[in-house]
Structure 1
Amino acid sequence: MAWHAVAKAEDVAEGTVRAASAAGIMLALYRIDGAFYATSDVCTHAFALLSDGYLDGDCIECPIHQALFHVPTGEVRSEPASVPLKTYPIRLEGDTLMVEIAED
């Protein structure tokens, strides 16, 4: 496992989602109630970028087919998705967001 710098904390405003990448993985970064989260940026139902989706509280809605995922856990909350979203550990070092990604 390795930690990767993905953004500055100020780049992820409260109540928003933002695209990022690290180690070849497309990520979505979120700031919800002051906490930061990182998930895969790709919907598990069909290729769509969740960073283009709608953040409603602690859930992200896919912009294409409206699948709904719980951001902190990746759990599916609404079809048509049936596979949970991959989540990644995230931490703040100074003003830099760091995401942990398994090395191959």
Structure 2
Amino acid sequence: MNNEGWIKTCAVEDIDVEDVVRFDHGDRTYALYRNAKGDCFATDGHCTHEKVHLADGLVMGNLIECPKHNGRLDFTTGEAKRAPICDAIKTYPVKIDAGMLFIKVD
């Protein structure tokens, strides 16, 4: 991590379009997404309904479907979109530099 709080995660190309990958850093897990437009996003890595890894879920547009109970979250805003998920998920700023994806965590 550099002094601005940005963490280098992976190459953008490591995330397929309309897919999600898991990224672990320290004792935290994050989910990194790439939508159909090729834009990248980052959220906490576990579903807010139950502690299930979202990287095992299915990306549909800007939604991630939890693999356990099929609840959905908008990974661009963090908003819960389908029950049983009721609580929003934390999102993180991202930036791309030289083809690498960075996330900013506090």
Tell me the TM-score range normalised by the shorter chain.
over 0.9
Q: 1:47 deviation in Å?
A: 1.1
Cα deviation for residue 34 of structure 1 reads 1.2
Runs of 4+ in 1 over 6 A off after TM superposition: none
Residue 13 of structure 1: aligned partner: 16
The number of residue pairs the alignment matches comes to 102
1:18-57 equivalences under 5 Å are 18-32=21-35, 33-57=37-61
- Amino acid in the other structure paired with 2:80: V
Q: What is the aligned-residue RMSD (CA, Å)?
A: 1.1
TM-score (norm 2): 0.91
Q: Partners of 1:93 and 1:24 in 2: how far apart?
A: 25
Question: Which residue of 1, 5, 18 corresponds with 1:2?
Answer: 5
Aligned residues: percent identity? 31
**SS of equivalent residue, structure 2 residue 55:** helix
Return the match for 1:95 from 91, 96, 99.
Answer: 99
Structure 1 distance, partners of 2:8, 2:27, is: 13
Task: List gaps (5 residues or longer) in structure 1.
Answer: none
Provide the C-alpha distance between the structure 2 equivalents of 1:16 and 1:78, rounded to a whole number of angstroms. Answer: 19
Residue equivalent to 2:70: 66
> For each residue in 1:6-49, what CA deviation from the matched residue of structure 2 results, as whole angstroms up to 9, or x when unmatched?
11111011111111123432011111111000011100000111
SS in 1 for 2:43: strand
Which has the larger share of strand? 1
